[in-house]
Amino acid sequence: MTQPVLSVEGLTVQFPTRRGILTAVDDVSFAINPGEVLGVVGESGAGKSMTGSAIIGLIEPPGRIAAGEIKLHGERIDNVSSDRMRKIRGRKIGMIFQDPLTSLNPLYTIAEQLIETIRRHLPLSHADARKRAIALLDDVGIPDAARRIDDYPHQFSGGMRQRVVIALALCADPDLVIADEPTTALDVSVQAQIIDVMKRLCADRGAAIMLITHDMGVIAETADRVAVMYAGRVAEIGPVEKVIRSAAHPYTQGLMGSIPTLSTDEDRLTQIPGAMPRLSAIPAGCAFNPRCPKVFDRCYHDRPDPLPHEDRRVACWLYDKAEAEA
């Protein structure tokens, strides 16, 4: 069995606040294999971005990793020095954020930002770094890259800027790219192109992708496996075609009932009646119990952990062996 690029075990992220400690990510575990695309879905506030930030070590204080381990190629990266982490970010793990309009520094040309990043991680001369930058821009589909490279971010459209962001994330050939809602801020007409570019480039380079989105349609078309998050926890994780065709967790079933064609409707995931609880008001037992159509006694007392079920893991008492036998 190959070693995963990334494995996350029992990750817990907390924020101390005046009204007590909030747990934004609660005991989350998953792994991503080389070249694999793991989709992460869930409603806004489910803890998807926080999980991504934890992995690249950019949680804003006072937030902190309270428990768990994050391993890159089997080596822990959650407790290394900030200097060491800076050499991992960009080099081993690339990151793409939601809004391409604000991800690029407005005062520097695309060339300056690309070359700065390339030379930070790779021992290249300025001229070679520039060649590499132009080749990358070509790859991500910027027409006339050799000329456009000296333009400033504001001279590009949103879709083109996101291509530049992808080039920046990939410029040191990372093994993993974390894409946090990379198309949410874009025009519907370019969303599919951007996902295609990202997927093709990562496939060419053998880079794995952690694709965070609330768009089940994107997941269905792009991901190999999918993790469904709810209130800071993993509800269900497994191969994408299985999860989509026969969702096990009642929350995932609700999501699948509302699978749309590619569109930008932000509220699509909330078609299950009710709303995800705030972090300060997560109910005892299963966090989904106020909205769950299949809720029963035990759901109010015990919190289910994601346990193996067929070829996936599901955090729901319906699939507990002891429960099934009773």
Partner 1 sequence: MLAFILRRLGQSVLVMLVVALIAFIMFRYVGDPIASMVGQEASSADREALRQQLGLNDPFYEQFFRFITNALQGQFGISYRLQQPVTELILSRLPATIELAFTSALLALVFGVGFGVFAALRPKTISTAAIMTGSLIGVSLPTFLIGIALIYVFAVELQWLPSFGRGQTVQIGWWRTGLLTESGLRSLILPAITLSLFQMTLIMRLVRAEMLEVLRTDYIKFAKARGLSSRAINFGHALKNTLVPVITITGLQLGSVIAFAIITETVFQWPGVGSLFINSVAVVDVPVMAAYLMFIAFVFVVINLTVDILYYVVDPRLRVSGPARGH
Ligand X SMILES: Nc1ncnc2c1ncn2[C@@H]1O[C@H](COP(=O)(O)OP(=O)(O)O)[C@@H](O)[C@H]1O
By the criterion CB under 5 A, which residues form the site for Mg ion? 49
Residues 129, 124: Cα–Cα separation, whole Å: 6
Query: Which lies closer to ligand SF4 via its Cβ, residue 48 or residue 249?
Result: 249
Residues 42, 33: Cα–Cα separation, whole Å: 21
Token pair belonging to 275: 């709303």
CB 248 within 8 A of CB 309: yes
Residues 314, 321: Cα–Cα separation, whole Å: 12
Q: Mutual orientation of helices 110-121 and 158-170 as an angle, nearest 10°?
A: 20
Helices (DSSP H) in the chain: which residue ranges?
48-55, 82-88, 100-103, 110-121, 126-139, 145-148, 158-170, 188-205, 216-222, 240-245, 250-257, 321-325
Query: Which lies closer to partner 1 via its Cβ, residue 91 or residue 298?
Result: 91
Token pair belonging to 30: 């998953």
Close Cβ partners of 257 (under 8 Å, ≥ 6 residues apart): 271
Contacting residues toward ligand SF4, per CB under 6 A: 249-250, 286, 288-289, 292, 294-295, 299, 304, 316-318
Query: Which lies closer to partner 1 via its Cβ, residue 47 or residue 306?
Result: 47
Q: Compute the least distance from the CB of residue 277 to Mg ion, in Å.
A: 17
Q: Compute the least distance from the CB of residue 23 to partner 1, in Å.
A: 23
Q: Compute the least distance from the CB of residue 278 to ligand X, in Å.
A: 7
Tokens 């109910």 label which residue? Answer: 283
Neighbours of 135 (CB within 10 A): 12
Give the x-and-dash track for 24-53 against ligand X (CB under 6 A): x-----------------x-xxxxxxx---
Q: Does 18 bind partner 1 (CB under 8 A)?
A: no
Q: Which of 15, 97, 230, 319 binds ligand X (CB under 6 A)?
A: 15
Q: Does 109 bind partner 1 (CB under 8 A)?
A: yes
Query: Which lies closer to ligand SF4 via its Cβ, residue 249 or residue 312?
Result: 249
Site for partner 1 in 110-129 (CB under 8 A): 116-117, 120-121
Site for ligand X in 235-274 (CB under 6 A): none
Footprint of partner 1 on this chain (CB under 8 A)? Answer: 56, 58, 86-91, 94-95, 97, 99, 102-109, 116-117, 120-121, 142-143, 148, 151-152, 154-157, 160, 165, 168-169, 172
Footprint of ligand X on this chain (CB under 6 A)? Answer: 15, 17, 22, 24, 42, 44-50, 60, 63, 279
